[in-house]
Structure 1
Amino acid sequence: MSRSFSDPRTSPEGPPTSSAPSGDDVTLRPDADGDADAPSVSQTAWRGRFVGRFVLLERLGRGGMGVVYLAYDPELDRRVAVKLVTAEGAGEEAATARLLREAQALAQLSHPNIVAVHDVGRVGTGIYVAMEYVEGATLGAWLRERPRRCHEIVAVFAAAGRGIAAAHEAGLVHRDIKPDNIMVGRDQRVRVLDFGLARSSGMRPGTGEGGSSRNGTLGAGNLDLQLTAVGAVMGTPVYMAPEQYAGALADARSDIYSLCVALWEAMHGRRPFAGDSLPELADNVLAGRLVETGDARVPA
């Protein structure tokens, strides 16, 4: 299939015409950098490929369980972010169906502090999620730009909390709240993003039900990386709630806990629990063993 498309970064007329197969021709497989979820078609470049009606333009980075691309929506003449998420292992079809249902649920959310989901669909062995493209900085980058006053930090976290609360009202739990999943846009609006680990709670927020799934995943490693293996504890260790370490299903309280860990870090300039390995960190979190703040200063 051959289509012409416009790249809004170049000119109103767009880039040269490109032969771009549809999303059905895009598979999810490792690329040259070893990313398991990057799209590839007969080992050709992914730029200009269609996923649904969206044209992939540029890779933005990795998120929870997937790779995110800047893309172009030719029907509405706008840039969007497209995330490709794949389900692997046993029960792949059932897992893909679950991911699709949860993405569809996210698409029903409409809140100024949540990144809008424009479209979802199947692609290869997984799904794609087309989202609002936000220009700005992650909360982590925003905090590093310059010293922030206390009221600035509180205002940003309060806005993020309102977005998270809206998701909870809809029965959705994020499961991976952290500074890199909160954006401060150039328009100064705060948005929660990357619901790649989000799932329907299947309960009213706060019931705390869930099955045990803790295993050897908690070995030494990068504490800032997400744990996303099937059947394992899921989230980013330094921000995870105690119940996530214990193998229980995360609920609304887990998101609130993670947001508060990030707030502590923003205020004190350090994280509330020490640990050079996952087992050490988990032990301190489960014991409620906070670090000494010492001379760390809370912003004025």
Structure 2
Amino acid sequence: MRPFAELARGTTTTVLKAHDPERDRVVVVKLLRREWAQDEEISARFAAETAALYSVSNDNVVSILDHGECEEGLFIVTDYVEGAALDGLLGDRTIPTIIGAFIVREALSGLAAVSQAGIVHRDFKSSNIVVSDQGLVQLVDFGFAESTADTHGAVAGTLGYIAPELLAGEAATEQSDIYSAGITLFEATTGVSVSGRATLRNGRQSYAHLNSGALTHIDENLSALIGEMTDPSPANRPATVDQAIGMLDEVLADYRPAVSR
């Protein structure tokens, strides 16, 4: 691999844009740096991300091309998607409500494939949804993904998107991913960003962003679906991601731009 740009740098990982000479294509290399690759818990999470990517084959999920170990640490190689993350599109305010809803609907197709593989993504959010220049929507970054048998109630994810039951110590499930998807659908259709708005106090997450009045400016059926997907009780949410997709498809088929209520 021949890295030529750093895309992101976190506490434990570095994400690089690189040229793969074997495939003669641009790829993304996610590197777990050597000092962290020796940490048992962190390296296990990286291995789980690798396994999750290999277990899912879907147009709406980024494809893994290779993985291994090098002098700098452990690495995963995935396709490079030329395009923009959903959070960037929302920040630029360049997409109408119906397009935002459609983007999330396509990402949900990827999430459904993840769920069917027995995996909980645990970090479904607007910055992990990429729209290519050709219009293909892909779900990326499986850094918190786990088999449904291995979640053990560990809290992982991004504040504002985390389902309330996870903060109470319950295990991550398909319903907790659906909650995160509902928050993302809220962002994509109202233009109100969750980033920086959610707070955590005494182990409880604030949900002021859902009560901001923004939902009064979108289609009533779409607003109701967001409410159902983000219900505090997992039992009141759609039972599966596939069911949530079906409900969203019905809303989109009958979509009418809202008059402020």
| Contact 1:174-1:197 at 8 Å conserved across structures | yes
Matched to 1:262, the amino acid is T
| Contact 1:273-1:290 at 8 Å conserved across structures | no
For 2:193 and 2:133, the matched residues in 1 are separated by: 27
Choose from 230, 234, 237 the match for 2:159.
Answer: 237
- Please report the RMSD computed on the Cα atoms of aligned residues, expressed in angstroms: 3.3
Matched to 1:80, the amino acid is V
- Residue in 1 that maps onto 2:13: 66
- Residue in 2 that maps onto 1:194: 141
Residues 6-30 of structure 1: per-residue CA shift (max 9 Å, x gap): xxxxxxxxxxxxxxxxxxxxxxxxx
So what's the TM-score if we normalise by structure 2? 0.72
For 1:186 and 1:131, the matched residues in 2 are separated by: 17
Instruction: List gaps (5 residues or longer) in structure 2.
Output: 220-256
Percent identity, aligned pairs only, is 35
Going from structure 1 to structure 2, the CA distance change for 1:65 and 1:147 (only over 3 Å counts) comes to: same
1:258-297 alignment to 2 at 5 Å? 258-270=180-192, 277-279=199-201, 282-285=204-207, 290-293=210-213, 297=217
Shift of 1:284: 3.3
| Contact 2:125-2:181 at 8 Å conserved across structures | yes
Q: How many residues align?
A: 220
Q: Which has the higher contact order (CA 8 A, sep 6+)?
A: 2
- Residue in 1 that maps onto 2:115: 168
For 1:133 and 1:283, the matched residues in 2 are separated by: 34
Choose from 22, 26, 29 the match for 1:82.
Answer: 29
Going from structure 1 to structure 2, the CA distance change for 1:98 and 1:63 (only over 3 Å counts) comes to: closer
Going from structure 1 to structure 2, the CA distance change for 1:105 and 1:281 (only over 3 Å counts) comes to: closer
Shift of 1:264: 1.2
For 2:189 and 2:65, the matched residues in 1 are separated by: 35
Choose from 98, 108, 129 the match for 2:76.
Answer: 129
Shift of 1:167: 0.8
The answer to whether residue 252 in structure 2 is matched with residue 252 in structure 1 is no
Residues 212-271 of structure 1: per-residue CA shift (max 9 Å, x gap): x5xxxxxxxxxxxxxxxxxxx321101111122223332221111111111112222336
More helix by share: 2
**Which structure would you say has the larger Rg?**
1
